[in-house]
Chains A and B, each alone.
Chain A
Amino acid sequence: MPNNTHSALKAQPNDPALDQIIKLAIMAVGGQGGGVLTNWIEDCAHRNGYVVQATSVAGVAQRTGATIYYMEMAPAGERQPVFSLMPAAGDVDILVAAEMMEAGRAIMRGFVTPDRTTLIASSHRALAVSEKTVPGDGIADSDEVIAAAEIAAQRFIAFDMEKMAVDVGSMISASLFGALAGSGALPFARESFEAAIKASGRGVEASLRAFAAGFEAAAGGKVEAQQKSSSSTGDTPAGPKTLIEKWAALEARAAAFPAPVRDMVLTGLRAVVDFQDLDYGEDYLGRLDTVLSCDDAAKGHELTLEAAKYIAKAMAYDDVFRVADLKTRGSRFARVRAEIAPAKGAQMKLTEFMHPRAEEIVGMMPAGLGRRLSGSARTMRLIDKVVNRGRRLRTDRLLPFAQLYVLGGLRKYRRGTLRHAIETDHLETWLELALSYSRIDYALGVETLRNRRLVKGYSDTHARGLSKFDRVMQGVALLAGRDDAAHWCRLLREAALADEKGEQLEGALKTVRSFAEKPATARQN
């Protein structure tokens, strides 16, 4: 008891025993098994003669939302320590983040500080709804979190623990537990961690495998961002000899393009040849030659680069033949099999979801006939009545497969179809416009090419994309000739990609009209 006088009540230096308290927070997404991980850590600490207190926030807040588990531990003594029930900013020793943005959230909340915190994070992403619903690319940048973590944490360990666990048939809780053990942040031997897993009694073998993988990686102090998924498209040509020879000639033509655009031209060439045939590839190169002749080497051939990309995308549009062709390829069957990975001896049924509308049907018809039919609303309604419904095709069965296979084969006749005529028309108008803009404003020409990004999707989504494209192009028309036209063109495009309904685009267009139309009205007056 201190002396009961005012002056005797001096602050004491911090109780050195306080430093023995280990404060550990787990930030996870509901459903990741944070509870299991907490139980393991608690058990492991008990085995090492520690007193532990764990808390969690249960309830509906956990359903797929951000959630937090917190525990404190200290060597057991005669008296019980007083532990806190929640983490405090600047006072966390170990922060386990079961996902990269949760690591970011921990940093934002001040739970990761350079004087004390070991941050162990899985670098994989579980995307939040807000990141996924954006029509463009709304995925948050993990690199920003990694950069912040490097500054905020005393030690930082990060790698893809989700993949690591899934690869060995386990859950991320096990690889996180392994990483925690491997980091050495807890003063406990590996065996006591493993004993905790063994004692929990469910899926022990798989958990131990994931634990081991996490342990090894963390012991090496790994910091590794998540890897990009590679595309399924390959780049080595295969086919009959005559075609390969002809391809070689096209390839040589592509290789003759200036160095900065060469790779993109080749990629685009492969895409259009894969879409149709070698002649189509020649058309592609022809269009690019035109662009190149208008281009400027001093500008790094940016115009040709964007043209190489977006002309390829415009030429390889998505029609019924394309979908049928892709769905029936051997390489696709192999990819599905690899992704689903059916167990040995198991069989796989495959169902495709198709929903053709009258537009798709007339799009497959010869251009003249198609145009006549689509001109009549009554006919279109009639066709819709017959075809417009969801169709589920079992492509592991012979007949449905054959249907799609035959459709895919009809691509030979694609050049004569209505859809092809429409697409080609659209492409040429756009390209011509871009080139004409580029003559007065190089940057605007480039941006106009990039606007093609807005056209994507099928049916309604496609229509919405086209309408956004048109609206952006109308805005561009108002801007042409101004110094900041390219800048505004880019802003309009970004606004168009930000939400589904195009509300942001409307706002941006309003702004553009407010300053681009004014001089015109002024002149009229």
Chain B
Amino acid sequence: MAERSFAKEVQKLKIGEGETFSGEGILALTKALLEAGVGYVGGYQGAPISHLMDVLADAEEILTELGVRYEANASEAAAAAMLAASVHYPIRGAVTFKGPVGVNVASDALANLSSAGVTGGALVIIGEDYGEGSSIMQERSHAFAMKSQMWLLDPRPNLPSIVQSVHQGFELSEATNTPVMLMVRIRSCHVTGSFQAKDNKRPPFTVKDALANPRSDYARVVLPPMSYLQEHDKIDNRWPAALKHIRDNGLNEMFGPKQAPIGIVLQGGMYNGVIRALQRLGLADIHGETEIPLYVLNVTYPLVPDEFSEFCQGKSAVLVVEEGQPEFIEQALGSALYKAGSSVKLHGKDMLPMAGEYTGQVMLDGLEAFIRKAAPEMLPARLRAPNSDQKPALPDLSKTVPMRPPGFCTGCPERPIFAAIKLTEMEHGKHQIAADIGCHLFATLPPFEIGGSTMGYGLGPASNAAFDGGGDKRSISILGDGGFWHNGLSSSIGNAVYNQSDGVIVIVDNFYSAATGGQDILSSRATNPTKTTGQPIADALKGVGVKWVRQIDRTYDVPKMRQILNEALTTDHVGPKVIVASSECMLNKQRREKPLASKAIKEGRRVEKPRFGIDEDVCTGDHACIRLSGCPSLSLKRLDDPLRDDPVASIDQSCVGCGNCGEVADAAVLCPSFYRADVVFNPNWFERSLGAFTSRIITWLQHHRSRGRIEFVRT
């Protein structure tokens, strides 16, 4: 079960013609797919489209009723490969994953798909992870569309436009026999809004129909000489067909006056940001009626030269608003203008930054700079001659406000694994450690600072391959359960076995694809009615020939974790040493168990709830425990005691009693300040009586001691 449930929201997917759908971008996308008569859907989770996968999973019943096949693909490559169903059959298919990293993984299949061409509409919905909130390297998926000749849609970020682009995407794909990428940015995935719904459509030709009537045609196979023909087909037929279709169907939009001295060309996704900047410059109203003509590229690849040159007519200057780099669109438009011998001045990255997100301020500054240069008379008086409305001098907070990068959640089972590794490093010195993609990547940050590189999902151990030959100290690599099944089993583990790696591999198994929102994977322990789970990682390891495997079923056991790490680092076994450290993701565990526990307490059943605490008079404020934890619930407080210089450690009520504090205090011989309090709800008769009896004696002893000495009490 995923972290966020859409079980309630997906019911909205059933509404039909004449009704208004309101909700988030990802739900709108799903509804649009159903309205478009999609025959199969799939994908691989990853922000910002993780929740689209969750919506699809929660909507599986609705999908199945409509005859739509839903597949939770093993990776982006697997998802893209699934689109092969649209090569020969007139079936619409859609898959989703994040860009550009997911597109990287999928690119082999996408390139093959593009070369072969499609019969049914094939749509790749890409969540472009660029700008604030992104968790990956900053790149553009745009280049993939260009190199494989796939068409790239970048609709305006509102629900009606996004929904419309799904329909248009399928139509464009079918009209040009070319797969289409539909790009949505981080915020548009979760933007709320509404649109007029249509009836859901059963696919006219289903995947079951295809199985009953199989087809093949070697002209579609990517193999010489067909591959040469396919390359020409792309340019001779599909490309012109795309230009014609885009033009005839008005996929790109123009806003504002027909004629004006200047204009702006923008990616559809930039529309709201551009309008806001124009609104602030007094050049657009609340509804987006603009004084400056806009040419909105809802299709950012291919560009339509005729449309662009029409837009440029009568204008002296045009600005291209294109986020990220390189500036593919600007280059192409510049080249078009040059070849046409045009005198129109083209601006773009000279007014707006080459790299980084186009935030509100960036957009405002860029547009203002452009207008100031190209048509200064359009600027409002206040900007033309800026009066000296002085901004108040603010104290500099940059030294005060701390960075707050993401980190392990309260009670995370991965924390003790890295505490153990840190303790091991304290004992044996620093090691070469390679990290991987997943929540465990947070270990590279303080307080652990474990792992110095990340090379891609499931590639942690593979990225240590140069050290497989061994040396003074063994290399260590980290791999998550998500990455393991994504491609780590072959690329990392298989690679290590085959090359007789001397390294140590720690597989962090938290029962889910946790970083992306707790989706199930092969080794998940939960029973999933439509997916096969419960496949142990250790079995898979042995299956590919790993001989040295240690399974830990409670990661919170820090001494054991340390002992096994020590063994792995010192054994004379030849070949990879693999430790599988398994404990359930605490976020998901709490979500599952908390309601059950509350219910049990209400019903009068006996329930124990653990929590940790700190004796503030025993704590000396050295914070050694925090340097082995970083748990959000383990914090500091300043005491109102003049003898205390430094704040003492303190645990708040959000503690879930995972046990890391006690284990670490123990393993690192820290201090006796911690205590664990287990609250027993609805204790039984015997417990109550024994408790009362013990408590009476203890209280008597305490009084006895107090009576014989001087103590200071609060009054």
Contacts and interface: CB of A to CB of B under 8 A. Distances in A.
Interface string A82-117: 111111111100000000011011011010001000
A457 interface: yes
Contact of B709 (A134, A277, A331): A277
B146 interface: no
B678 A278 contact: no
A315 to B, nearest CB: 11
Contacts of A343: 679, 681
B701 A132 contact: no
Given A13-B282, A239-B711, A355-B669, A57 B187 contact: yes
B261 to A, nearest CB: 6
Interface of B: 47-48, 50-51, 129, 132-135, 157-158, 186-193, 257-261, 271-273, 275-276, 279-288, 291, 359-361, 363-364, 375, 377-381, 392-395, 397-398, 400-410, 439, 442, 445-447, 515-517, 559, 608, 611, 613, 615-618, 620-624, 626-627, 630, 632, 634-647, 650, 653, 662, 665-672, 674-683, 687-688, 691, 694-695, 697-699, 701-703, 705-715
A270 interface: yes
Contact of B395 (A64, A70, A144): A144
Contacts of B379: 11
Given A12-B282, A65-B407, A331 B133 contact: no
A64 B407 contact: yes
B643 A131 contact: no
Contact of A12 (B291, B392, B618): B291
Contacts of A476: none
Contacts of B400: 101, 104, 140-141, 144-145
Interface stretch (A186-194, A227-235, A374-382, A419-427): A227-235
A88 B276 contact: yes
Given A63-B407, A65-B407, A346-B680, A81 B643 contact: no
Contacts of B618: 318, 323, 326-327
Interface stretch (A205-213, A252-260, A332-340, A511-519): A332-340
A1 interface: yes
A445 interface: no
What DSSP secondary structure best describes chain A's contact surface? mixed
Contacts of B259: 4
A348 interface: yes
A29 B708 contact: no
Interface in A116-147: 126-137, 139-141, 144-145, 147
Interface string A252-291: 0000000000011001101101100110000000000000
A351 B706 contact: no
Interface stretch (A173-181, A217-225, A240-248): A240-248
A504 interface: no
Interface in A295-343: 309, 312-313, 318, 323, 326-333, 336, 339-340, 342-343
A240 B707 contact: yes
A396 B643 CA distance: 30
A327 B615 contact: yes
A86 B360 contact: yes
A236 B713 contact: yes
Given A133-B447, A243-B709, A353-B662, A336 B613 contact: yes
Interface centre among A10, A60, A135, A139 (most CB of B within 10 A): A60
Given A63-B408, A129-B630, A229-B640, A53 B681 contact: no
Nearest to A136: B646
B654 to A, nearest CB: 8
Chain B CB within 10 A, most for which of A11, A89, A234, A398 = A11
A496 B188 CA distance: 48
Given A108-B397, A129-B447, A396-B694, A152 B392 contact: yes
B191 A85 contact: yes
Given A63-B406, A88-B359, A352-B672, A233 B712 contact: yes
B132 A86 contact: yes
B72 to A, nearest CB: 18
Nearest to B271: A82
B637 A229 contact: yes
Contacts of A340: 611, 613, 677, 679
Contacts of A409: 705
Contacts of A323: 618, 672
Given A55-B188, A59-B186, A353-B672, 19 more contacts: A9-B378, A31-B632, A55-B192, A82-B271, A82-B276, A82-B286, A84-B276, A91-B280, A127-B636, A133-B447, A229-B640, A230-B640, A234-B713, A237-B710, A353-B675, A396-B691, A402-B701, A458-B670, A497-B646
A482 interface: no
B192 A239 contact: no
Contacts of B647: 137, 139
Give the most central of A85, A131, A273, A278: most B CB within 10 Å. A85
B360 A234 contact: no
Interface string A367-398: 00000000000000000000000101001111
B380 A53 contact: no
Contact of B378 (A10, A62, A104, A166): A10
A350 B677 contact: yes
A461 B671 CA distance: 9
Contacts of B286: 15, 17-18, 20-21, 74, 81-82
Contacts of A392: 662
Contacts of A126: 632, 635
A20 B645 CA distance: 51
B645 A453 contact: yes
Contact of B446 (A129, A333, A390): A129
A249 interface: no
Contacts of A29: 404, 632
A133 B134 contact: no
B157 A85 contact: yes
Given A229-B640, A340-B677, A398 B280 contact: no
B640 A86 contact: no
